[in-house]
Amino acid sequence: MGAHEFAIRRLVQLVPTLLGLLVLIFLIARVMPGDPVRLALGPEATAEQVAALRNQLGLDQPLPVQFINYLIGLVRGDFGVSLRTLRGVGSDIAGLLPATLELVTVSLLFSILLGVTAGIFSALYQNSWVDNLVRLTSISGVALPRFWVGILFQIFLASKLGLFPIIGRAAAPIHGPTGFYTLDALLAGNLPGFFDSLWHLVLPALTLALPTAAQLARLSRASMIEVLRQQYVLVHRAYGVPTSRLVLRYALRNSLTSVLTLLGLSFGSLIENAFLVEVVFSWPGISAYGAAAVLAKDFNAVVAVTLIVGLAFMLANLIVDLLYGVLDPRVRYD
Amino acid sequence: MRVVRTFWLAIVLAWVVLMGVAQAQVTFTYLAGQEIPTIDPAKHTDETSLHGVINLYDPLIYPRVSQGSMAPGPHVAESWRVDPDGRTYTFKIRRGIKFHDGTELTADDVVFSMQRMLALKKGFSWLWLNLLDPKDVRALDRNTVQFRLSQPFAPFLSTLTQLFVVNKKLVLANKKAGPYGDNGDYGEAYLTNAAAGSGPFQLSSYERSTILELKRFPDYWRGWKPGQIERVVYRVVKEEATMRTLLTSGQADMIDQWRTPVTYEQLAKAPGVVVDEKPSAQLFHIQMNTQRTPLNNIHVRKAIAMAFDYDTAIKQIFRGAIQARGPVPLAAWESYDISSKDLDKYGIVAYKYDLEGAKKELQLSGFMPGQIQLNYVFPEGGNLQRQAGLLLQSRLNQLGIKLNLQELPWVRIVEMSASEASTPDLAAIYDTLKYPHPDSHTYGMYHPSAWGSYRTISRYSYPVVTALLERARRATDPEKQMELYLQATGLVVKDYPSIYVANPMHRIALRDNVKGYRYVGLLGYDVAFYDFTVSR
């Protein structure tokens, strides 16, 4: 089976998986205790007000009817109305998703850059002080809570030293087709805007990246040590191939398979874990929106955010599966 | 050479002038811990939305904040008349008020604003839904509005602090198809992200989860003085540590009132930061279900109230709060010139901790130690309510009364309060004034018609009190009205339907160069940016 055929088959398989996820989360969101309509309108709302909103949102209908209506809406791209914002969930998410995706993408880049580099050096200088430092730092990176690291960054790097802004995405909103401030600024030729949004991105992205970078460092160190022990590496060494070339050209590529698996899983979990970072840095993203939706029992928003995170997980894993073949031609798609 | 020198001199001068202009523009940054759900004046209920609305719109009636009172005062309505039947209110609308688009505010706009509230049935509309029919709100002429209520309602004037006037012409010009006949959607979609007010500030940008930016409305009818704020950045920052960092570093001017007492204690010690502290118009009490055995026995209720250790609660749990004297927060009485002596006269006193007295009351009740078991519910995450419950539990143990603490989602408590069968035995509730009038915490809590709400878990009913409250609502003479509310409250206090614990402190942290902040107990009205001046 070719890569194209494999990709199409996997994309088709996404549909029943997403449908299963939808049924599950739709039911869970609706059986959560407490009346979300009353929560939305506040405790002073009269019974008449509650009944009017329940009717307006179709929540006075039986559950199967609600599900079918939701499904029909979904096919049309309508995620329903948010009980918390009283606006379309679709438009809420459209405004927030780019911010999270931009944050997560830059975090992932930071993770790869920091984690894989540290892993390689750690493996090359095994049992030296470099290795010990990387191992110690990576344990701390996994163990320290993200929100706490974020607050420390804010206090020392932003407030005390004034190197970075404390909160926000940019000094002024940047409007454009992608919703990614950095990209939109570049597309508009707005260089100050690009640097400003990049400057705002550093601390939140770094905070979010650290645990993933730490995991990547540990994993790439182990993979690299294993690869460096392979006979073909020893042969290349014997032929006098320089270490840098040996690592970058041969060993790195072969050690990346397990790293790639972790990256695939990390993308989805970064969206999920972005919540605390978004809260600390007042980053207007979908993760904080999803968390607020759960607290407010805003079930349409909960369902939509879960579907999006689920879809991100599935797509990231599909891309990883396809990349296995690029890294290792022996891999067969079936 | 001279040309070059002149050129550089011009550059330096221009820079100085520009910097001067930049410095002169007073920008104020406020940090709120929760989102700003709406800026539509027919939908707001929470504090952050109210902040948006208060600064973008003008209410018909404004509390007398400058006099340190929450009693109603003139604003858009410059004067009013109440007919002897207590049902007809006629308001003279101030001339010369302009909306942000330059059109003049008239009686028609006031009528439209109230009818819009009644039609949408959202926000504070519950205050008037059972009281006003849309057709009974009329413009008598360009500057006169008349409201005819279905029944007398003494606090009506006070409730009008929540009626904000929208620009009818602008709203209807932007209406979309909707269920309200000729009015379409009543501008609901338009006012989601736009404003149509006459308030001191115009909308620059609004993103509910992050920011609200306002700029000064130059033609505001109250005029402007030097030092007043020109631009407001109202930011949503959910992390308390981030808020602290922004305030102490001078990147914010004020943070909201919802931080922990410890945070305010720390902030008060930070250079350049002051913490404003005042007793709030809020009541923390533990309601007792007076309809259920054994709490339908006054001696049991009195025993429980006497077994509560008020001093410990005030000092260690509510840190600096003042002890409540009955259901109405002291700030509300004070706004109507009712002093402590007046309260004493009517028997509105603070309950006292007396364990021996409690034991005697329990003997009088006929119940033996070990016979009584009660449930105490409190909202999820309510640490102070939990601590108050544990304190009560420990003292009731000494009386032989078993108290089971139950933490429930807030919505569940509201649902339980709806029917008599599910109403809990005891419930720890924070209750803020719903409108700036003692009626909120008397009629709203102790008239049987109000049963079914989290505010009436005590399900209190005493015909004498009921009659007094009804007479109070009908009374048109303010003095007589207050006397009736005082009499009713005194009787309620003697009946122990609740353990009245505290009027907690309202705290807010701000930079020391901000002047004009004043809290009178009414939610939201303390953050009217028009009142602030800042020296940079």
pLDDT digits (tens, 9 = 90+) for B165-212: 999 999 999 999 999 999 999 999 999 999 999 999 999 999 888 899
Confidence of residue A296 (pLDDT cuts 50, 70, 90): confident
Q: Is the pLDDT of residue B425 over 50?
A: yes
pLDDT digits (tens, 9 = 90+) for A178-217: 999 999 999 999 999 999 999 999 999 999 999 999 999 9
- What is the torsional sign of CA B345, B348, B349, B355? positive
pLDDT digits (tens, 9 = 90+) for B463-514: 999 999 999 998 888 899 999 999 999 999 999 999 999 999 999 999 999 9
Q: Which of A168-172, B287-291, B306-310 has the lowest mean pLDDT?
A: A168-172
Nearest CB to B121; choose among A48, A173, A292 = A48
Per-residue confidence (pLDDT) for residue B21, from 0 to 100: 42
Q: Do A46 and B38 touch (CB under 8 A)?
A: no
Chain B contact residues (CB < 8 Å to A): 35, 37-38, 43, 45-46, 121-122, 125-126, 129-130, 192, 205, 207-210, 235-239, 241-242, 245-246, 248-249, 251, 409-412, 414-415, 434, 453-454
CB A157 within 8 A of CB A164: yes
CATH number at residue A177: 1.10.3720.10
Confidence of residue A260 (pLDDT cuts 50, 70, 90): confident
How many structural domains is chain A composed of? 1
Token pair listed for B175: 């209406």
| Residue in the block written with tokens 């049991």 | B300
CB A300 within 8 A of CB A259: no
Per-residue confidence (pLDDT) for residue B9, from 0 to 100: 54
Cα B159 to Cα B434: distance, rounded to the nearest angstrom: 8
Q: Do A282 and B237 touch (CB under 8 A)?
A: yes
| Closest to A217 measured CA to CA, from A170, A176, A177, A266 | A266
For B240-266, what is the mean pLDDT? 90
Confidence of residue B14 (pLDDT cuts 50, 70, 90): very low
Out of A281-290, B54-63, B148-157, B408-417, the most confident range is B54-63
Nearest CB to A46; choose among B37, B46, B126 = B126
Token pair listed for B139: 């413009």
Per-residue confidence (pLDDT) for residue B6, from 0 to 100: 55
| Residue in the block written with tokens 């599966």 | A321
Higher per-residue pLDDT: B408 or A200:
A200
Exposed (0-12), middle (13-18) or buried (19+): which is B181, by Cβ within 10 Å?
Answer: exposed
Question: Which are the contacts of B165, defined by CB distance < 8 A and separation ≥ 6?
Answer: B57, B58, B59, B60, B76, B105, B109, B110, B113, B197, B198
Token pair listed for A24: 């599950």
Per-residue confidence (pLDDT) for residue A319, from 0 to 100: 86
Look at residue A76 and tell me if it is in a domain: no
| Residue in the block written with tokens 């904000």 | B164
Give backbone dihedrals phi and psi of B401, rounded to 5 degrees, phi first.
-105, 130
Per-residue confidence (pLDDT) for residue B19, from 0 to 100: 41
| Closest to B305 measured CA to CA, from B333, B332, B326 | B326
B274 membership: H or E segment, kind and range: strand B273-279
Strand partners, B377: B406, B427
Chain A contact residues (CB < 8 Å to B): 33-36, 38-39, 41-46, 48-49, 52, 84-87, 95-96, 147, 151, 154-155, 158-159, 166-168, 173, 279-282, 284, 288-289, 292, 297
User: Helix (H, G, I), strand (E, B), or coil: what is residue B140?
Assistant: strand
Nearest CB to A52; choose among B121, B235, B434 = B121
N-terminal to C-terminal alpha carbon distance within chain B = 39
Burial code (b: 16+ CB inside 10 Å, e: under 16) for B17-35 equals eeeeeeeeebebbbbbbbb
Look at residue A138 and tell me if it is in a domain: yes
Per-residue confidence (pLDDT) for residue B8, from 0 to 100: 52
Per-residue confidence (pLDDT) for residue B16, from 0 to 100: 44
Q: Is the pLDDT of residue B416 over 90?
A: no
CB A225 within 8 A of CB A207: no
Cα B460 to Cα A38: distance, rounded to the nearest angstrom: 24
Q: Is the pLDDT of residue A148 over 60?
A: yes
CB B535 within 8 A of CB B24: no
CB A38 within 8 A of CB A45: yes
Per-residue confidence (pLDDT) for residue A110, from 0 to 100: 95
Quote the domain boundaries for residue A139.
Answer: 96-285
Look at residue A86 and tell me if it is in a domain: no
Look at residue A27 and tell me if it is in a domain: no
pTM for the whole structure: 0.80
Q: Do B130 and A46 touch (CB under 8 A)?
A: yes
pLDDT digits (tens, 9 = 90+) for A158-167: 988 989 999 9
Exposed (0-12), middle (13-18) or buried (19+): which is A234, by Cβ within 10 Å?
Answer: exposed
Q: Where are the alpha helices (DSSP H) in B32-189?
A: 47-56, 107-120, 156-159, 168-173
Distance from CA of A199 to the nearest CA of B (A): 17
Q: Report in angstroms the alpha-carbon separations of A113 from A106, A108, B22.
A: 10, 8, 41
Token pair listed for B16: 């100085």
Q: Is the pLDDT of residue A2 over 80?
A: no
What percent of chain B clears pLDDT 70, i.e. is strictly above it? 96
User: Helix (H, G, I), strand (E, B), or coil: what is residue A10?
Assistant: helix
Per-residue confidence (pLDDT) for residue B26, from 0 to 100: 86
Q: Which of A31-45, A152-166, A186-200, B352-366 has the lowest mean pLDDT?
A: A31-45
- What is the torsional sign of CA A291, A294, A300, A304? positive
User: What's the 3-state SS for B313-350?
Assistant: HHHHHCCCCEECCCCCCHHHHHHCCCCHHHHHHCCCCC
Across chain A, the runs of DSSP E, i.e. the strands, are: none
- What is the torsional sign of CA A93, A98, A99, A100? positive
Give B-chain residues touching A284 at CB under 8 angstroms: 207, 209-210
For B454-471, what is the mean pLDDT? 95
Nearest chain B residue to A82 by CA: give it.
B37
CB B211 within 8 A of CB B203: no
Task: Give the strand pairing for B27-32 and B231-236.
Answer: parallel
CB A285 within 8 A of CB B207: no
**Mean pLDDT score of chain B, rounded to an integer?**
91
Cα B246 to Cα B456: distance, rounded to the nearest angstrom: 41
Q: Is the pLDDT of residue B272 over 50?
A: yes
Distance from CA of A16 to the nearest CA of B (A): 34
Give backbone dihedrals phi and psi of A37, rounded to 5 degrees, phi first.
-70, -45
Q: Report in angstroms the alpha-carbon separations of A330 from A222, A226, B185.
A: 22, 19, 63
Confidence of residue B23 (pLDDT cuts 50, 70, 90): very low
Q: Is the pLDDT of residue B20 over 80?
A: no
pLDDT digits (tens, 9 = 90+) for B112-159: 999 999 999 888 888 898 899 999 999 999 999 999 999 999 899 999
CB B118 within 8 A of CB B183: no
For helices A252-280 and A191-228, give the axis angle rounded to 10 degrees.
Answer: 140
CB B163 within 8 A of CB B57: no
Peptide bond into B448 cis (omega under 30): no
Mutate to test the interface with B, among A82, A100, A159, A175 (most CBs of B within 10 A): A159
Look at residue A165 and tell me if it is in a domain: yes
| Strand ranges of the sheet holding B137-141, from the earlier edge strand across to the other edge | B77-82, B88-93, B144-148, B137-141
pLDDT digits (tens, 9 = 90+) for B235-249: 999 888 899 999 999
Nearest CB to A159; choose among B38, B249, B414 = B249
Look at residue A233 and tell me if it is in a domain: yes
Reported ipTM exceeds the 0.90 cut? no
**Mean pLDDT score of chain A, rounded to an integer?**
87
Give B-chain residues touching A33 at CB under 8 angstroms: 409, 411-412
For B415-440, what is the mean pLDDT? 91
Look at residue A37 and tell me if it is in a domain: no
B203 membership: H or E segment, kind and range: strand B201-207
Distance from CA of B141 to the nearest CA of A (A): 32
Residue type for B237, please? V
pLDDT digits (tens, 9 = 90+) for A66-109: 999 989 998 888 998 888 777 889 988 998 999 999 999 999 99
The secondary structure of A115-183 as a DSSP string is HHHHHHHHHHTTTSHHHHHHHHHHHHHHHS-HHHHHHHHIIIIIIIS--S-SSSS-SS----SS--HHH
Higher per-residue pLDDT: A111 or B415:
A111
DSSP state of B440: G
Distance from CA of A43 to the nearest CA of B (A): 7
Look at residue A153 and tell me if it is in a domain: yes
Confidence of residue A1 (pLDDT cuts 50, 70, 90): low
